[in-house]
Amino acid sequence: MKDLLLVTDLDHTLVGDRQALTCLNRTLEILRSRISLVYATGRSLAGARQLQQEESLLEPEGWATGVGSTLLWRGKPDPVWDQRLQRCWDRHALAALLSHWSELTLQPASEQTPYKLSYELTTPRMGAEAHQFEQRLRAGLRQADLQARIVLSSGYQLDLLPMAAGKGAVSGYLQQKLGLQPHQVLCCGDSGNDRSMLGGPWWGVMVSNARPELLAWWRQVRPDTLLRSNRHHAGAILHALDTLPLLL
Ligand code: GLC
Ligand code: MG
């Protein structure tokens, strides 16, 4: 059994500083027998694999793509995970409802999956405006008797996922699947779609280049299991591995 589940976002977290990434990869290779590595990204699997090639990323045990809506474990889909997502999820009805929202534009087909419905906001919204938008959307879904997890990132990327999906949910699922305790999990991220995993009952690290929406959340919640690193990109992950009580 491994001693640590390391779940990291890709864009602007693991990827963004080549030198720090090389250094982190070297460290991870040394610790490889003790760590289960998972990439948790908003990208599709194809997009994530492309980035893996471009940036020479290590081969992970798990790919949690589409904002934690698709899980590939050691190269295979996980049927237990897939089954969980089907509950209370009506993608077709959600898309029909939101086709009337003129402020939303559907993202390209390459970004859509059976368990992820993604849009862009025509007018980006930050802070209180983003919050109001989420409230309005939540009310709209309630009125139509539909359920979905709402994930807003960078002020304009909107993902609707089954309630059982998301980066936090997939991290919790993998923690249990691997028989690990929360203190044996480290999640790393920079933006809104990382919030659910950074707010989990395990260790987290937020890069110094975190997006404003993540910083705003951190200022409100300040989880004591979350390291707000003063180092950016992969450097922050190294910082967490060096300073948090992991792999003792
Ligand atoms: C990635 C995905 C996009 C998603 C965004 C935020 O950029 O490609 O579909 O909306 O992450 O989660
Ligand atoms: Mg990111």
Q: What is the pTM of this model?
A: 0.97
Q: Given a cut of 90, is residue 1 above it in pLDDT?
A: no
**pLDDT (0 to 100) of residue 248:** 85
Percent of the chain with pLDDT over 90: 99
Find the mean pLDDT for residues 209-229: 96
Alpha-carbon distance of 139 to 201, in angstroms, equals 28
What is the SS3 assignment for 153? Answer: strand
Phi, psi of 149 (to 5 degrees): -85, 130
Environment of ion ligand 2 (residues, CB < 5 A): 9, 11-12, 190-191
For the Cβ of 116 lying below 6 angstroms from any atom of ligand 1, the answer is: no
- Per-residue pLDDT band for 177 (boundaries 50, 70, 90) equals very high
The residue type at 48: A
DSSP string, 22-63: HHHHHHHHHTGGGEEEEEE-SS-HHHHHHHHHHHTPPPPSEE
Cα–Cα distance list, 225 to 237, 239, 240 (Å): 14, 14, 11
For the Cβ of 118 lying below 6 angstroms from any atom of ligand 1, the answer is: yes
Ligand 1 atom nearest to 153, measured from its CA: 6
Closest ligand by atom to 211 CA:
2
Q: Given a cut of 90, is residue 244 above it in pLDDT?
A: yes
- Per-residue pLDDT band for 222 (boundaries 50, 70, 90) equals very high
- Per-residue pLDDT band for 17 (boundaries 50, 70, 90) equals very high
Alpha-carbon distance of 151 to 217, in angstroms, equals 13
144 CA from centroid of ligand 2 (Å): 31
- pLDDT tens digits along 31-64: 999 999 999 999 999 999 999 999 999 999 999 9
